[in-house]
Structure 1
């Protein structure tokens, strides 16, 4: 049986096709009842799917008036309302995500990172570094620290160096259902020379820095991540 998430994703995909094939910028879409009949889904599913498209900037919803096709955004959208990887969030907007550079090594992170992971100073962890591209252009650099063992299970994150495996896939493959929620702090920062070279920017260019800790259901930290994201290629939408 299809899950609610799968049904909504299917409706989002169908609506995205309709937008590209049938409607022009500024056109008003049929009402939720008509769209539900056309897509053979419930009105609630249509409402959720339109909400996703609205957060991606593909449509605008005017209370009491209707839903309209929006002009295309110059950047991909990054919806932060659910636990998904960077890859999945951007690809959901119809863009191609790839890894240009990656590495997986053993490392002793800073005391601040170890404290966030609940580990003692000097503890060795896995470090996974990845440089992502969106539609062929460098878009985000990520550095993730992961304990070498969780729940007595040895962790091997080498699969994350491929675009086919994200952090959540990797963790759940070692311990099924391990990932429960994330906490992310976002700040605007400027890039130094090394960061600028990797992301194809000028030194001092502003980017978004996201520091994320991934937890299990008991609040045990599973991973610590820091990413630098170009805002001219990817826009972040946070729904709370």
Structure 2
């Protein structure tokens, strides 16, 4: 099922934030603040105080506090009683800790004029061997496989293969997928997991594997055989530590270069 979208990330007005509805979650608030930070919309790289942020976004101070604590944990901001919340200006979209919030497409949109997604979601009789092993499945377990490539300025930048057992997916979605009917594919596997009752993704373990392009015409990126690149192998877990999905992401690291932020 093909799909595409394109957008050039733009800067909003300094200090002006879009309001968030009353029913929004702390994660949505975190995303909104993070996007404003990445667009350098806070004068002097300093955030307003919690009451002002709560008023601007239309959420509670508790929600704001939770979002700021998340951003501090991710290394995006530093907080101190005397000086408030200060943005770390050298932190960008390439921080691997921000991947879940920003995603590959958000990373690429910051530096490319046209970014679009080519994707399909299928039901297969079995998963790949790494997925079967990581999730502890029988080899004949039917899998939902989301195959997508993110293309930036005409060049494939990232190829993702995401797998989840069909039986984990909500029954109404499962029927659509099996019948090949139209289905609005979520932007990320984390959003898709909201449709897995009782098995929503809580956290992921990522293995970063340095690799070289094989001499194989089926390789999904436009790289010559022998070219170094990065492969991310992710096992996704519930809050109860149950492995529920597996992703393999092939990255052209000339287009996306990850950074890891460490703080004390």
TM-score range (shorter-chain normalised) is: 0.5 to 0.7
| Alignment partner of 1:192 is 2:214 | yes
Counterparts of 1:146-161 in structure 2, within 5 Å, are 146-150=164-168, 153=171, 155=174, 156=177
Give the direction of change, closer, same or farther, for the CA distance of 1:99–1:15 in structure 2 (3 Å limit).
closer
Superposition CA RMSD, Å = 4.6
The alignment partner of 1:236 has SS state of coil
Aligned length: 220
Match of 2:96 in 1: 79
1:147 shift after superposition: 0.8
Give me the whole-angstrom Cα distance separating, in 1, the residues matched to 2:170 and 2:33: 41
Moved more, 7-16 or 169-178: 7-16
Q: Deviations over 1:45-69 (max 9, x none)?
A: 99779879986xxx9xxxxxx9786
**Which of 113, 118, 138 in structure 2 is aligned with 1:120?**
138
Shift of 1:138: 0.9
Query: Greater strand percent: which structure?
Result: 1
TM-score when normalising by structure 2: 0.60
* 1:167 and 2:179 matched: no
Structure 1 gaps of 5+ residues are 24-28, 60-65
The counterpart of 1:219, out of the listed 237, 241, 258, is 241
The answer (yes or no) to whether the contact 1:143–1:227 under 8 Å persists in 2 is yes
User: What residue in structure 1 maps to residue 7 of structure 2?
Assistant: none
User: What are the residue-to-residue correspondences of 1:1-240 with 2, within 5 Å?
Assistant: 1=22, 3-17=25-39, 19=40, 29=44, 32=46, 35-36=47-48, 40-41=52-53, 77-81=94-98, 83-84=100-101, 86-87=103-104, 89-90=106-107, 93=110, 97-150=115-168, 153=171, 155=174, 156=177, 164-175=186-197, 178-194=200-216, 198-239=220-261
Structure 2 residue runs without a partner (length 5+): 1-21, 55-63, 78-85
Alpha-carbon distance, 1:98 to partner: 2.4
